[in-house]
């Protein structure tokens, strides 16, 4: 186990370096000068020159990159060009908001998608299978922003059952937080549950054709025992991979849903930073996202070993 974690960390170091180099170069290649906005309407050349000197923008791009990278290694992601706040402080403010939404969404996705996939696989070719596939296709086809708006109009405006928007920390007000999470989590998790349902169904069908499953049936075991104890454990390996990757996508890409439900999360931070040419914030957010994906993949590898004893032996 320790050797596995060590190998993944060694692979992560060059990966993060390439990601940071790539995003740094692309940011500098974008047209526009952020200091023209920061300097105000008068755009005093002396003010702009002073700002460029403070942020070392007149240095060669290679010098700028390694100076920024040296700060990152020390835990300093720089400061926002627009507000002057530390980038790490902004990230730590917004990340818990999106993490709370992503966690609720992946719980909804797994809670709906995995059981539906198992049922569809066990009843292949029946009305249940076709119905589950049709629901999955519908979940993939409906745009998140449209579904979110419809839920607000029906559930919040007409039925007055749930708050239409906003955010509440789960540890501060659990009831209020859950009420505000139900609709956005269903919007995000509903689409992902369709993906999980299709993959779960495919994985279960493949595993249930295996020799050891036929042997278990030949021994006289009931179908529930065969599915739950023998087939499902091995089918979980690709499902774990997909779930961790989907969770990473939720952390990085819940922008539209956050906008619809007015959730001040990670997505809004990165969108505002890109439009305002806030180099430090964009670089910090992308780097933190890359670190998150690497950690999620590492967690998936560890779960593989725990779920499948054959991998542990290997």
With 0-12 CB in 10 A as exposed, 13-18 as middle and 19+ as buried, what is 34?
A: middle
- Which pLDDT tens digit goes with each residue over 257-312? 888 898 888 877 888 888 878 888 989 988 888 888 888 888 887 777 777 666 55
Q: What angle do CA 99, 104, 105 make, to 5 degrees?
A: 95
Q: Across the chain, what does the average pLDDT equal?
A: 86
| Percent over 90 (pLDDT), the chain | 30
DSSP-derived secondary structure for 169-219: -TTT-HHHHHHHHHHHHHHHHHHHHHHHHHHHHHHHHHHHTSHHHHHHHHT
Per-residue pLDDT at 102: 92
Tokens of 136: 């999955």
Query: Tens digit of pLDDT for each residue in 172-189?
Result: 889 999 999 999 999 999
**CATH number of the domain at 96-265, please?**
1.10.3720.10
What string of DSSP letters covers 29-98?
HSSS-HHHHHT-SS--HHHHHHHHHHTTTTS-HHHHHHHHHHHHHTT---B-TTT--BHHHHHHHHHHHH
- Which pLDDT tens digit goes with each residue over 61-120? 899 899 999 999 898 888 888 888 999 999 999 889 999 999 999 999 999 999 999 999
The span from the CA of 39 to the CA of 43, in Å, is 5
Tell me the pTM: 0.84
């Amino acid at each position: 186990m320790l050797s596995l974690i060590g190998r993944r960390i060694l692979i992560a170091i060059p990966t993060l370096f390439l990601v940071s180099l790539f995003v740094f170069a692309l940011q500098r290649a974008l047209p526009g000068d952020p200091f023209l906005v920061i300097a105000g309407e008068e755009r005093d050349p002396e003010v702009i020159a002073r700002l460029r000197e403070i942020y070392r923008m007149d240095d060669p791009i290679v010098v700028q990159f390694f100076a920024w990278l040296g700060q990152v290694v020390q835990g300093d992601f720089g400061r926002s060009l627009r507000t002057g706040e530390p980038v790490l402080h902004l990230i730590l403010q917004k990340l818990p908001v999106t993490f709370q939404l992503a966690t609720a969404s992946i719980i909804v996705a797994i809670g709906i998608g995995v059981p539906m996939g198992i049922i569809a696989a066990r009843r292949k070719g029946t009305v249940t299978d076709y119905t589950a596939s049709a629901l999955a296709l519908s979940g993939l086809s409906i745009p998140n922003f449209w579904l979110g708006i419809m839920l607000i109009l029906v559930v919040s405006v007409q039925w007055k059952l749930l708050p239409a928007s906003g955010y509440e920390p789960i540890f501060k007000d659990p009831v209020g937080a859950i009420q505000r999470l139900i609709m956005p989590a269903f919007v995000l998790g509903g689409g992902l549950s369709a993906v999980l349902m299709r993959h779960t169904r495919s994985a279960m069908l493949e595993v249930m054709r295996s020799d050891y499953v036929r042997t278990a049936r030949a021994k006289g075991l009931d179908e529930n025992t065969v599915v739950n104890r023998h087939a499902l454990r091995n089918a979980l390996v690709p499902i774990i991979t997909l779930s961790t990757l989907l969770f990473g996508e939720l952390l990085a890409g819940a922008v539209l849903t956050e906008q619809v439900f007015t959730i001040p999360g990670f997505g809004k931070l990165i969108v505002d930073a890109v439009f305002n040419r806030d180099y430090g914030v964009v670089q910090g957010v992308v780097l933190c996202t890359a670190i998150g994906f690497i950690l999620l993949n590492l967690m998936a590898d560890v779960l593989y070993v725990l779920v499948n004893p054959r991998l542990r032996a290997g």
